[in-house]
């Protein structure tokens, strides 16, 4: 007869450090809430103007500028990345010089340069195609788009180059052995595999671009921050409108972050044995585990 052994009694591990951290965080949060509650802030003004027409127009302009600047940055960045990896020394040097210049100067300075080029050029003359005064041609939106988009292209060039170089060279060699051209190999073999590496930092760049649009107030473009400042001048609620703008930025970045998560999850297929759970799956599993714990009790 096999000798019977006592059942193992599992003793849960205690984590006093977690409770201490929770108490400290809640204490700090309570201190901040109390400080702002006692301050001279009219909190009713934030929800009152949250969906104001001027604010909503600023939100729309911010989204438009973010998407347009990122499209310009991604397309031009991909071209620059291919140029950097080219064996042609001229294209390689041009791409390197572009990245060196636009990464080495602040984006705020670049915005001011584009907006004030009318002091240097009186007219823009493209021959029979287009001719106009520079002040009429360089609108606030165009200055903001060029300032943000061309600067973003320098960063996207390095991100795309890192993604392309992450693909194993054997993939390219196999495609060439099958008779594929360099361009076809890049489109069908290299770029789809590089997306898994490119998507996460690109998502971060989109979120960063959304917040960087607040700098275009320097070129008088009516984005979210400038709209909030205009409302503040008429309502007298300066601090409240800054809090309102911060709230809108938080909402937009949350939406973009959620989209980034699902996009990363999509391109992770084939590289992970099991895909990471979605936020809804995490909530469902937490609720189910809690119910099971209650049932066992």
DSSP per-residue string spanning the chain: -PPP-PPP---PPP-HHHHHHHHHHHHHHHHHHHHHHHSS--TTHHHHHTT-HHHHHHHHHHHHHHHHHHHHHHHHHHHHHHHHT-S-HHHHHHHHHHHHHHHHS-HHHHHHHHHTGGGT-SEEE-TTS-EEEHHHHS-HHHHHHHHHHHHHHHHHHHHHHHHHHHS-HHHHHHHHHTT--HHHHIIIIIHHHHHHHHHHHHHHHHHHHHHHGGGGGGGT---HHHHHHHHHHHH--HHHHHHHHHHHHHHHHHHHHHHHHHHHHHHTBTTBSSPPPPHHHHHHHHHHHHHHHHHH-
pLDDT band at residue 110 under the 50/70/90 scheme: very high
- Lookup: tokens for 167: 């693909």
pLDDT band at residue 291 under the 50/70/90 scheme: low
Percent of the chain with pLDDT over 70: 86
Mean residue pLDDT of the chain comes to 84
pLDDT value at position 272? 59
pLDDT value at position 106? 94
Q: Kindly report, residue by residue over 41-59, the tens digit of the pLDDT.
A: 788 888 899 999 999 999 9
pLDDT at 192 over 60: yes
- Lookup: tokens for 201: 């930092």
Q: Among residues 25, 26, 9, 150, which one has the least CA distance to residue 76? A: 150
Q: Kindly report, residue by residue over 13-24, the tens digit of the pLDDT.
A: 777 888 889 899
Q: Kindly report, residue by residue over 130-186, the tens digit of the pLDDT.
A: 777 777 788 899 999 999 999 999 999 999 888 888 877 787 778 878 788 777 887
pLDDT value at position 277? 66
Predicted TM-score (pTM) of this structure:
0.79
Handedness of CA 19, 21, 25, 28 (dihedral sign): positive
CB 69 within 8 A of CB 215: no
Q: Cβ atoms within 10 A of the Cβ of 64, count?
A: 14
pLDDT value at position 157? 93
Q: Kindly report, residue by residue over 55-78, the tens digit of the pLDDT.
A: 999 999 999 999 999 999 999 998
- 259/24 Cα distance (integer angstroms): 33
- 190/168 Cα distance (integer angstroms): 9
């Amino acid at each position: 007869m096999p000798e019977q052994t006592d059942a193992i009694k599992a003793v849960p591990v205690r984590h006093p450090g977690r409770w201490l951290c929770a108490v400290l965080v809640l204490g700090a949060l309570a201190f901040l809430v109390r400080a702002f509650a006692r301050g001279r802030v009219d909190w009713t003004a934030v929800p009152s103007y949250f969906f104001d027409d001027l604010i909503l127009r600023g939100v729309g302009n911010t989204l438009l500028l973010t998407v347009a600047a990122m499209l310009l940055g991604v397309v031009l960045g991909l071209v620059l990345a291919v140029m950097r990896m080219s064996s042609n020394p001229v294209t390689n040097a041009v791409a390197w010089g572009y990245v060196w210049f636009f990464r080495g100067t602040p984006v705020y300075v670049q915005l001011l340069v584009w907006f004030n080029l009318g002091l240097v050029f009186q007219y823009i003359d493209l021959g029979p195609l287009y001719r106009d005064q520079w002040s009429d041609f360089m609108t606030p939106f165009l200055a903001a788009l060029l300032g943000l988009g061309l600067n973003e292209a320098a960063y996207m060039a390095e991100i795309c180059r890192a993604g392309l170089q992450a693909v194993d060279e054997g993939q390219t060699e196999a495609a060439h052995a099958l008779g594929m051209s360099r361009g076809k190999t890049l489109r069908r073999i290299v770029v789809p595999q590089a997306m898994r590496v490119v998507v996460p930092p690109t998502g971060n760049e989109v979120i960063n671009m959304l917040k960087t649009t607040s700098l275009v107030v320097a070129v008088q473009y009516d984005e979210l921050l400038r709209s909030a400042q205009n409302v503040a001048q008429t309502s007298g609620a300066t601090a409240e409108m800054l809090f309102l703008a911060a709230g809108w930025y938080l909402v937009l970045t949350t939406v973009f972050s959620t989209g980034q998560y699902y996009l990363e999850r999509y391109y992770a297929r084939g590289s992970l044995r099991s895909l990471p759970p979605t936020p809804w799956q995490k909530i469902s599993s937490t609720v189910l585990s809690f119910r099971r714990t209650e049932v066992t009790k």
